[in-house]
Structure 1
């Protein structure tokens, strides 16, 4: 029986009172690749966890996508793999509605041996970048939009993914029915369970739509006045979608490009910016774009080449970038234009915002937002001119300044003199070392195409 005495922290006491049957608590973190990792503790340990925290190897934040440690920067094997202290993030103790037995979950943040925020925890990387805007008296309001695919658990020939059977028709999804309501109706039970689970976990969801490919959906997250919390919600939203999909007999994926012939999945970031009096400094009145908005866009575009390693973190990420499919391939901006990298949506001046459309759904939300915040600050401080807004199609051909291959993106990141000023002097090096080792592992594998091309070559 969980302890519900008055000695408990009020958040813990309230949770146990509302969920007395809880048997265990999942302690969660999001690593460099955005993969959710953690430990499951008996609910009886929740009191001590909240009071004293727990320990994890600090190197958990430097694992590759498959959970392998490559000792980046000598962190892991070389330094004896020391622990870091993990403490609960207030407000994150929530139930897990899709679990087979009553579970709770708790998001963690980490400190080093000097009780300072662990420098290479992605959440702390974002916090560091946000601190630069606070120095200017500015506060961002943030929302994320994520696309994802539902997949049949059964693979097609060659282990390829395939769309699920529609509960509405009993047939396998096919074709492009963007904004098709039959697709939403067909998976209504699953989508409703996702939004209900998000509601139980305090993740504010908005519109649901079918997207450009069979089995592809988008669920918007609402604007959040606390950017760290917005990124927390984005990370936990992915866990909700995957968990609920499993419960319904499907697999959900945020892979950037699961089907070569279909649309990729993006992670769109919406950011508006407010001063200490509560004014949106992006509001330009009749001019639509204030000077601050233009400079912020200029800074984000200026840092875009060296930010690509965060926005497109995996080998598969770069398959999403193609001409003429509303995926940005140029350093461009414009009003109500989905072909540009930085879109300024329609709406009242008080709601004026930038929508960054570059990141894939596989990007780490903390790092994607951190790179955008860095660009916004860089542009405002240096009054960077973004050039004229783009009319028409900005995605006819690739911008040669953008690295459209994973190793080139890492080279751009390592060459940056500006990104380390915002994300930490060592973080780009650690990130690049980890991803470089991951790409080496990927390149070592022999694909079926390699056999087709070279096995019988003379």
Structure 2
């Protein structure tokens, strides 16, 4: 998927005309984008309006990128109520117009990118923020190749008496799931119809899926997205993938959730990011044998790791974007809780997976499945660039279990994390001047709203 400037209106119009001719059954289409919290928002139009939208675009208030998870505007930085909530332009992204196979009505969808006018990208759009970081690497003659791995839960639509989630009923045994076998094939077989429909829906929408794995808890799965050399397009795919998973689950009378920690006593769901870097000749600069060396880690790889570890405290508010996100971090469960790296070690924050030199990459294991993929990847690439240009030493790799103790430098509480981000000069440089402050203000208002809620536990303890 292209990550360049908006396509000419004539090209989008031709794409729309060809789509209508190929899919005469379509009755409506949706225009979609992901906001600051990764929530998918947009508008639905009758199909008769497709050519008009393709040719002229549409508008949204710029404040849609400064909403909290519940869709509330808190006027962060005076943007919203104070400035009159001005509109910005939204335009279709080429090659994202596709059918929605799980819909009960003939429906299509496309993704949007935003600008304030020709040549003036919207600085609040997470998609553009990611592109800024990609461009910084391009300026060094480096091209990122990226892939996402996402864990998610299928849960019963019926809640427990405490309004919490519960595992689904196994389609084969007709018994409620109570346990799982990690990598177990019986679980894959039981949910094979749903999982295959997800894969087929992704295929129709051009989202490149890979391996499917049963994970550590009942109803938990992981589906990998394939490596691509377009980071912005890869994040687009991630958004489309999550929407497809939720849509297919609803079709089967289930709910899919990418909540980081839906069950206190069970495994959380992560968003693992894989990145390698190619030079102008297509060689992987993370390959330690590239120039005749024998090390598994090239100097560029070590510097990239050093930069990501150095900026990890600043990025925690992005990698863990809400109160529940931080419940995922616990010792000794393969969830990183400190600034660590290592070869083929799942307890560290940055893992260098097994493989030959040309496939050498960094796996970033900190983000939760609820993180905004554009911003999470942007923070990762920002750290890589920061480390390479400043030649930051990551220290020695970790041997054995790195997950025994929390790192005091990592802000493992929501408000500490947003304070750290707001004060980060590095993230201000990479994500855009003032953006970390606006992001932090948005999240602080969300946490204020959350803190006012009275939980059942509060009555149990204090009534």
TM, length-normalised to structure 1:
0.97
Match of 1:354 among 335, 350, 362: 362
For 1:317, the equivalent position in structure 2 comes to 325
Q: Match for 1:58 among 28, 46, 62? A: 62
Q: Indicate the residue corresponding to 1:156 in structure 2.
A: 160
Query: Which aligned runs of 4 or more in structure 1 are off by greater than 6 angstroms?
Result: none
Q: Which residue of 2 aligns with 1:295?
A: 303
CA drift at 1:13? 2.7
Q: Provide the secondary structure at the position in 1 that maps to 2:170.
A: coil
Which whole-Å CA distance do the structure 1 matches of 2:171 and 2:118 have between them?
54
Name the CA shift for 1:7/1:333 in 2 (closer, same or farther; >3 Å): closer
Aligned-residue offset at 1:288: 1.2
The one-character-per-residue Cα deviations of 1:181-213 (angstroms, maximum 9, x if unpaired) are: 111111111001000000000000000010000
The match for 2:380 is 372
RMSD over aligned Cα, in angstroms?
Answer: 1.1
TM-score by length of 2: 0.96
Partner residue in 1 for 2:210: 206
SS in 2 for 1:225: coil
Match among 235, 256, 260 for residue 256 of structure 1: 260
In the alignment, structure 1 residue 46 sits paired with structure 2 residue 78: no
Offset at residue 9 of structure 1 (A): 3.0
1:20 paired to 2:24: yes
* More off after superposition, 161-170 vs 112-121: 112-121
- The DSSP-based 3-state class of the residue aligned with 2:425 is coil
1:87 paired with 2:91, answer yes
Q: Distance in 1 between matches of 2:428 and 2:327?
A: 27
Are 1:268 and 2:272 matched, yes or no? yes
Give the CA deviation at 1:308: 0.2
CA positional deviation for 1:130: 1.1
1:423 aligned to which of 408, 427, 431: 431
Query: 1:142 corresponds to which residue?
Result: 146
- 2 CA distance for matches of 1:8 and 1:113? 17
Once residues 301 and 190 of structure 2 are traced to their aligned partners in structure 1, the CA distance between those partners, rounded to angstroms, is 41
1:3 matched to which residue of 2?
none
Q: Please give the alpha-carbon distance, in whole angstroms, between the structure 1 residues aligned to 2:215 and 2:24.
A: 40
Matching of residue 304 in structure 1 with residue 308 in structure 2: no
**Equivalent residue for 1:168, pick from 158, 165, 172:** 172
2:223 is matched with: 219
C-alpha separation in 2, matches of 1:374 and 1:160 = 37
Pick closer, same or farther for the CA change 1:8–1:198 going to 2, 3 Å.
closer
Q: Secondary structure at the match of 1:322?
A: coil
Counterpart Cα distance in 2 of 1:315 and 1:57: 27
Match of 2:349 in 1: 341
Residue matched to 2:3: none
Q: Compute the displacement of 1:175 (Å).
A: 1.7
| Aligned-pair CA distance for 1:322 | 0.2
Separation in structure 1 between the aligned mates of residue 102 and residue 445 of structure 2, nearest angstrom: 35
Partner of 1:111: 115
Mapped partners of 2:108, 2:180: distance in 1: 38
1:277 aligned to 253, 277, 281, which one? Answer: 281
Answering whether residue 448 of structure 2 is matched by residue 432 of structure 1, we say no
Q: Any idea what SS the aligned residue of 1:9 has?
A: helix
1:73 and 1:7 mapped to 2: Cα distance?
37
Q: Where does the alignment leave 5 or more consecutive residues of structure 1 unmatched? A: 1-5
Where 1:158 maps in the other structure, the secondary structure is: coil
> SS state of the match for residue 272, structure 1?
strand
Give the SS at the match of 1:142.
strand
Deviations 1:228-283 (A, max 9, x none): 00000001111000000000000000000000000000000000001111110000
Q: The residue matched to 1:449 in structure 2 has which SS? A: helix
Aligned residues: 450
Counterpart CA distance in 1 for 2:19 and 2:352 is: 41
User: What SS is found at the alignment partner of 1:149?
Assistant: strand
d(CA) in 2 for partners of 1:11, 1:196: 22
Change (3 A) 1:275 1:258: same
Q: Which residue of structure 1 lines up, in the alignment, with residue 5 of structure 2?
A: none
Partner Cα distance (1:386, 1:18) in 2:
53
Confirm or deny: 8 A CA contact 2:17 2:51 kept in the other structure.
Answer: no
Q: Distance in 2 between matches of 1:434 and 1:190?
A: 36
- Alpha-carbon separation, structure 2, partners of 1:227 and 1:322: 30
Does residue 181 of structure 1 match 2:181?
no
Once the 2 structures are TM-superposed, how far is the Cα of residue 7 of structure 1 from its aligned partner? 9.6
- Residue 14 of structure 1: CA displacement? 2.7
